[in-house]
């Protein structure tokens, strides 16, 4: 039989969560890291704002805790929130120890923190540590250099996981994750990777929408694979739309950091009129769900394509120092943010729901973990507070590391696993099916399952998903797989999960706003919308 890749730990994904875990485990285990593109091609690289942590004596973890609960609108798990915010300081120190160069406080600021701290929406204090306006890049490139240098870490770039291999899928009793089928994109070959433990660190699913701040890699792969394998998925209706993405035909997916609003930038209409005071007393620093809906309403009310973000009251020197990346990108497009407002629109940004996990990042399936945006840990609830995402990545990477290290020696390495069977498929001569269906999903999700929803729109989306599912299932069964086909299949699963979750929630809460149920349900305790795996007639998870 062909050789199969065997490792102690298989990490699927190469963002902040996956690379942090790889580094922590590397002295204790043989680790494989899969990256569907180049190692630093994911969402972490594009994160601008920063990493939330209490680093100032005038702030407190209790305040961070309360702010996170308030932003999550009754759906956060208080125990998880407390665990995360109390772990934040150590997580920052770990990143500093790895060499991440966060922006320092200048001597004239009067701050008692050695680091410059931003304030962002939902936070009651300055607690966002950052590396200018390219924090994700600073973290990702630092971790990348460490991962590439470690002899116990095996990197597989341009490799995309197709599906998880579990004991249950092999029609045997009990269950455990044994590995994954993985497509080598360069050589167009599916290989078997087996491991004692498998970690999903695949990020979110922003590409299910037509307009998103996410890179092309964010196609919900881990969520879809976990669902097919038998994990519960929760809260998928809570898709966070970042209020301010750059509106320009040449500016695909470019985010305008919330930190600008933290430094006093105002949202205005084309005539210069500000409007956030009509929606929330916190104005520009209201939570993202409030700001995104306000912008969406104003654009629809006026028939405008965008609104504007104005920070021209700040000096050129201040803007260059604090927002060099954004400033240069705007200048490249002919926008001088020191003298004119920036055109912005909301765009799909963050998946608050995902694969249900415990405090160790463990899923429903033994041996399978999920960390970072792919997971539903209980931290974000109905709306993620700004800059809690990178924090979650590092905290849960450490939690998973401790759990895996304690059990690794007692866990057997899987034996030979079934090879990928493509004996009954042929090369596709209809690639247009993939590109057309990909485009259709993203368009109807934007039109029908966006910032403001109705039951009728959701039902329309659900109908289209059922038709596309039959087309994609037939196509998947007849032709050799490709990266685009894998992503299309996963996007369709994610779209279905979002719509099903949205239809189950008969209220408006956090990021889920529906015209048919415009207020929150206060008669019962807020609950998660949990989608259970689909089981076949023999009791096993349907493929």
CATH tag for 431-521 (out of 1.10.10.10, 2.40.10.10, 1.20.58.100, 3.40.50.261): 1.20.58.100
Residue 479 structure tokens: 């032709």
DSSP-assigned letter for residue 301: H
Write out pLDDT tens, residues 496-514: 999 999 999 999 999 999 9
Residue 324 structure tokens: 């060099």
Residues paired with residue 350 on neighbouring β-strands, in sequence order: 240
Give the pLDDT band of residue 289 (cuts 50, 70, 90): confident
pLDDT at 340 over 60: yes
Radius of gyration of the chain (CA): 23
- In this structure, are residues 21 and 400 in contact, taking their beta carbons and an 8 Å threshold? yes
Would you tell me the crossing angle of helices 431-448 and 483-504 to the nearest 10 degrees? 20
- Give me the DSSP letters along 321-371: HH-HHHHHHHHHTT--TTTSPEEEEEEEEEE--EEE--TT-B-SSTTEEE-
Which sequence spans correspond to the domains of the chain? 5-238+352-410, 243-347, 431-521
Cβ count near 300 (within 10 Å): 11
CATH class of 5-238+352-410: alpha beta
Residues paired with residue 309 on neighbouring β-strands, in sequence order: 267, 342
Higher pLDDT residue, 399 or 45? 399
Give the pLDDT band of residue 219 (cuts 50, 70, 90): very high
Higher pLDDT residue, 173 or 452? 452
Q: State the pLDDT at residue 86.
A: 98
Task: Given the residues 127, 176, 228, 288, select the one marked as catalytic.
Answer: 288
Give the pLDDT band of residue 537 (cuts 50, 70, 90): very low
Q: State the pLDDT at residue 536.
A: 44
Mean of per-residue pLDDT scores for the chain: 92
288 is catalytic: yes
Q: State the pLDDT at residue 47.
A: 79
Cut 0.85: pTM above it: yes
According to the CATH classification, is domain 243-347 in 3.40.50.300? no
């Amino acid at each position: 039989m062909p050789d199969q890749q065997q490792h102690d730990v298989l990490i699927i994904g190469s963002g902040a969560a996956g690379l942090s875990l790889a580094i922590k485990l590397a002295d204790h285990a043989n680790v494989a890291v899969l990256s569907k593109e180049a190692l630093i091609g994911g969402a972490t690289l594009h994160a601008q704002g920063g990493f939330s942590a209490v680093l100032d004596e005038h702030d407190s973890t209790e305040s961070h805790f309360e702010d996170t609960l308030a932003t999550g609108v009754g759906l956060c798990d208080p125990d998880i929130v407390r665990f995360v915010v109390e772990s934040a300081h150590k997580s920052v120190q770990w990143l500093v120890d790895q060499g991440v160069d966060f922006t320092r406080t200048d001597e004239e600021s009067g701050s008692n923190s050695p680091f410059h701290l931003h304030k962002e929406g939902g936070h009651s204090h300055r607690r966002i540590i950052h590396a200018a306006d390219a924090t994700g890049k600073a973290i990702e490139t630092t971790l990348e250099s460490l991962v590439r240098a470690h002899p116990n870490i095996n990197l597989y770039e341009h490799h995309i996981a197709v599906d998880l291999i579990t004991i249950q899928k092999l029609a045997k009793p009990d269950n455990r994750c044994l590995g994954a089928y993985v497509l080598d994109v360069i050589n167009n070959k599916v290989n078997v990777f087996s491991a004692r433990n498998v970690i999903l660190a695949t990020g979110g699913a922003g590409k299910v929408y037509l307009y998103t701040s996410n890179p092309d890699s964010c196609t919900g792969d881990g969520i879809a694979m976990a669902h097919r394998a038998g994990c519960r998925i929760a809260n998928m209706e809570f898709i966070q739309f970042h209020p301010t993405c750059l509106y320009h035909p040449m500016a695909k997916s470019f985010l305008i950091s919330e930190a600008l609003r933290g430094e006093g930038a105002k949202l205005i209409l084309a005539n210069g009129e500000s409007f956030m005071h009509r929606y929330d007393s916190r104005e520009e620093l209201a939570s993202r769900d409030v700001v995104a809906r306000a912008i969406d309403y104003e654009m629809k009310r006026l028939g405008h394509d965008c609104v504007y973000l104005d920070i021209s009251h700040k000096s050129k020197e201040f803007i260059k120092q604090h927002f060099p990346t954004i400033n240069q990108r705007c200048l490249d497009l002919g926008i001088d943010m020191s003298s004119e407002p920036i055109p912005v629109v909301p765009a799909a940004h963050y998946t608050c729901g995902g694969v249900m996990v415990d405090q160790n990042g463990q899923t429903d399936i033994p041996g399978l973990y999920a960390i970072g945006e792919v997971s539903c840990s209980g931290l974000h609830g109905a709306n993620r507070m700004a800059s809690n995402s990178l924090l979650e990545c590092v905290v849960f990477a450490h939690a998973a590391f401790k759990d895996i290290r304690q059990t690794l020696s007692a866990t057997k390495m899987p034996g030979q696993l079934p090879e990928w069977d493509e004996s009954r498929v042929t090369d596709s001569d209809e690639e247009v099916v993939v590109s057309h269906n990909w485009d259709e999903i993203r368009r109807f999700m934007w039109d029908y399952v966006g910032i403001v929803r109705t039951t009728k729109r959701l039902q329309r989306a659900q109908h289209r998903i059922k038709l596309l599912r039959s087309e994609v299932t037939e196509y998947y069964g007849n032709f050799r797989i490709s990266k685009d086909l894998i992503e299309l299949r996963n996007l369709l699963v994610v779209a279905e999960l979002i719509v099903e979750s949205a239809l189950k929630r008969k209220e408006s809460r956090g990021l889920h706003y529906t015209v048919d149920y415009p207020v929150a349900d206060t008669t019962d305790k807020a609950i998660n919308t949990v989608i259970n795996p689909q089981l076949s007639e023999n009791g096993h998870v349907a493929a």
